[in-house]
Amino acid sequence: MDDLWLQKVLLKWSASLFRVPGRVFCMLDDDKIRSLDLAEFVKGLSSAGIVLGRGEAQQIFSLCDKSSSGTTDFEEFLAALRPPVSAAQQQIVADAFHKLDTSGDGLVSVEDLRGVYDARTHPKYQSGAWTEEQVLQAFLDGFDTPGDKDGKVAAEEFLNYDREVSASIDSDDCSVAMMKRAWKL
């Protein structure tokens, strides 16, 4: 069995899951310890109509269990479900990241955003519900790694965010065009 076949199975599964991976992960996590073991993983494949032999299921599970711990946590699970990123998409994401990283230190912070995002146009700022700082922080939090928000976004986190968003877009060309418009690139 080759890796391409395994990736196709994961992509088939991810097509039905990807729009709500957090909810799906929680439903599969029978023991509620925020990780999936092989039995929970096989149950999830089976519920999606993908019935495999134990060896095949183990190989697919191994693609998700990057740490070889015998379980896959949510981040590993998401990483396995994310589709590959084309060179064009990687370049446009890098361009957008560099536009946001006004300090040039490789991390996007609230200070970087002040120069490129006008918080005063946000509805919650305009209504008086949020300060400019709160708007900028909420904007930044959207890109920060879930469960590990540190107030700064690295290029890899930004790429992972884009991978999640672009997974629901039909074509790479549409995704690149959307990024160009959104980031004025």
Would you state the pLDDT for residue 43? 85
77 and 109: one domain?
Answer: no
Query: Phi and psi of 153, rounded to 5°?
Result: -120, 120
Number of domains into which the chain is organized: 2
- Rounded distance between C-alpha atoms, residue 174 and residue 78, angstroms: 22
Domain that residue 58 falls in = 3-81
Question: Mind listing the pLDDT tens digit for each residue in 21-39?
Answer: 667 777 788 888 889 999 9
d(CA 163, CA 166): 5
Element (H, E) at 47: helix 38-47
pLDDT for position 73: 87
Q: Which one, of 104, 80, 100, 81, lies nearest residue 92 by Cα?
A: 100
Residue 174's CATH number: 1.10.238.10
DSSP H or E run through 151: none
Q: Which of 81, 103, 129 is the last residue of a domain?
A: 81
Rounded to a whole number of angstroms, the distance between the first and last alpha carbons of the chain is 42
Predicted confidence band at 93 (pLDDT cuts at 50, 70, 90)? very high
Which of 81, 112, 136 finishes a domain? 81
Tell me the pLDDT tens digit for each residue of 34-54.
899 999 988 877 877 777 888
Q: Tokens 């060179």 sit at which residue?
A: 87
Domain C-terminal end among 44, 61, 81: 81
- Per-residue pLDDT of 95-133, as tens digits, reads 999 999 999 999 999 999 998 999 999 999 999 999 999
Residue 171 region by backbone torsions, left for phi larger than 0, else alpha for psi between -120 and 50, else beta: beta
